[in-house]
Amino acid sequence: MIKSKIILLNPIASEISRRKGVLPLALLSITRKLDPEKYEIVIVDEAIDNFREEMAEGALCVGISAMIGYQINRALKFAKRIRKLHPDVPLVWGGWHPSILPQETVANEHVDYVVRGQGEITFAELADSLRENRGVDNILGLTYKQDGKVVSNPDRPLTDPNEFQALPYHLIDMEKYIHASEFGARTVTYLSSIGCPFSCGFCAEQVVYGKRWLPLSADRVISDFKSLKEQYNVDSIIINDSNYFTNQGRALEISQRMISENINLKWGNANGRTDQLVAYKKETWQMMRDSGLQCILTGAETYDDGILEIINKKATVKDTITLARIANEYGVKIKFSFMIGLPVRGREVSLEQEFVRVVDFINSLYKVNDKNHFLLFLYTPFPGTPLFRQSIELGYKSPESLEEWGEFLEGLNHASTPWTNSAFAEKVYQVNFYFPFISNSAYDILQQYPLPVRLLLLPFERLLYLIMKHRIKHKIFNLPVEYHAMKLILRLLKGRV
């Protein structure tokens, strides 16, 4: 049987992007229902690989994954090049943005199909239809153009992820993704669930997955962990779930089995809600820590309970403070995510005042544990979310085409609303640069490198630590020479200057 070639393309997500570290989990997932006897699958990850137009020659289709902003910008550039040289090769888009705005996406001349949401079955059926030259009108979860009109087939019901096989890591060179992190010398990323049962006003998760949470079983997670360790000698795992800690019983069972089956992996960055985690039993906390838990990611969002009510967070500032204290008791650091510039009616606090209060709150959480880490984002309105409608009412003008969404080159630090501006966005971006140094995450990562590298880089890292810690503590952000120097160095390393 002659195999049909499928190219799957993952554009880089930002102008300054790490060369290693983030597995293309979405592209690996989308291949799992494709018949290996029928298809040759080529994954091209721009953070790792160089895409060449000739790769698309003779391809059955090219699949492109895209998130709002820079990734769309890059994806369109690739799509235009492919379309120019290989006009008969169908271009299939998927990922967060196309799933949220499928009709607007497919209206672009460089998009032929959009696979919406959980796409494993939809993409496999589309590939079979293209290979056999059949119609696509019965494929659920697909949006496409037909006779000059945009057609959206009915949604596809979500499938239990346990019904899919393990990710086909053999399709990529894993050594290019295994990297040193604050958790270990050989770290990989992993996804143990999809979706989230909550409905925060800013979050698009509910748009794509309908407030459902679909986890892999503890059996499956343990099996995957063992496989990653045995086949690729990993010593640590970064969990990329949107809400890993939704079910305490599952979290406890996974940790218990990691201990009883002597898996011996450090793990972290697992996402959870403050209100749920403060309700976890002491037994669960101890078991998670003993199993290798290093760090939890959580959306604190703000210093203000009133704002938490506006965004329907269903958590409190007290939960944030309590979680910091509980985690510190068990030696677990927290990566707190904050958002600034939300669409608040009758705003009584200016953005600058809000920024200062957020930094003050962050400094107070540093006092609980000086290794806690922080992320600060500008609010970006996502279509379909409650706060998107509120943003429109407050004067926000939404992009109206795929190209316009691609102009958000800074992603979640793009000044997209009329109540923010580019200078303020740059300050937010600057502060985010400081946090890995202040929390000692950069220091911990350097500890995974050979001694000569550490001796060379640690003096510079310690100097940056002192400068950046002073800036955050005293809220001094003018003349950020070190920030601009670091950005320049990273661009040079990426070869994009």
Assign 497 a pLDDT band (cuts: 50, 70, 90). very low
Q: Does pLDDT of 172 surpass 70?
A: yes
Contacts of 45 (CB under 8 A, 6+ apart): 10, 24, 27, 172
| H-assigned helices in 401-480 | 402-405, 422-438, 441-446, 451-474
Percent of the chain with pLDDT over 90: 82
Sign of torsion, CA 110 112 116 121?
A: negative
Q: What is the pLDDT of residue 231?
A: 97
List, for residues 435-480, the tens digit of each pLDDT value: 999 998 899 988 988 999 899 999 999 999 999 999 999 999 999 9
Domains of the chain in start order, with CATH, are 4-152 (3.40.50.2300), 178-379+417-494 (3.80.30.20)
Residue 64 pairs in a beta bridge with 9, 93
Work out whether the CA dihedral 469, 473, 474, 477 comes out positive or negative.
positive
Mean pLDDT confidence for 256-281: 98
Task: With a cut of 50, say whether residue 251 has pLDDT above it.
Answer: yes
Q: Are strands 61-65 and 4-10 parallel, antiparallel or unpaired?
A: parallel
pLDDT band for 72, please (50, 70, 90 cuts).
very high
Query: 422-438 and 451-474 are packed helices; what angle lies between their axes, rounded to 10 degrees?
Result: 130
Confidence of residue 345 (pLDDT cuts 50, 70, 90): confident
Rounded average pLDDT over 110-129: 98
Higher pLDDT, 410 or 29: 29
* Spatial CB neighbours of 79, under 8 Å, sequence gap ≥ 6: 62, 64, 91, 110, 111
Mind listing the pLDDT tens digit for each residue in 369-425?
999 999 999 998 988 898 999 999 999 999 999 999 988 765 566 788 999 998 999
Q: Pick from 56-70, 282-296, 419-433 the range whose average pLDDT is largest.
A: 282-296
Residue closest to 200 by CA, chosen among 211, 209, 192: 211
What is the reported pLDDT for 496? Answer: 42
* 175/186 Cα distance (integer angstroms): 9
Burial of 451 (0-12, 13-18, 19+ CB in 10 A): exposed
Q: HEC string of 300-340?
A: EECCCHHHHHHCCCCCCHHHHHHHHHHHHHCCCEEEEEEEE
The answer to whether residue 493 scores a pLDDT higher than 70 is no
68 pLDDT band (50/70/90 cuts)? confident
**pLDDT of 13 strictly over 90:** no
Instruction: State yes or no: pLDDT of 433 exceeds 50.
Output: yes
Q: What is the pLDDT of residue 380?
A: 87
**pLDDT at residue 383, as a whole number:** 87
CA distance 418 to 421: 7
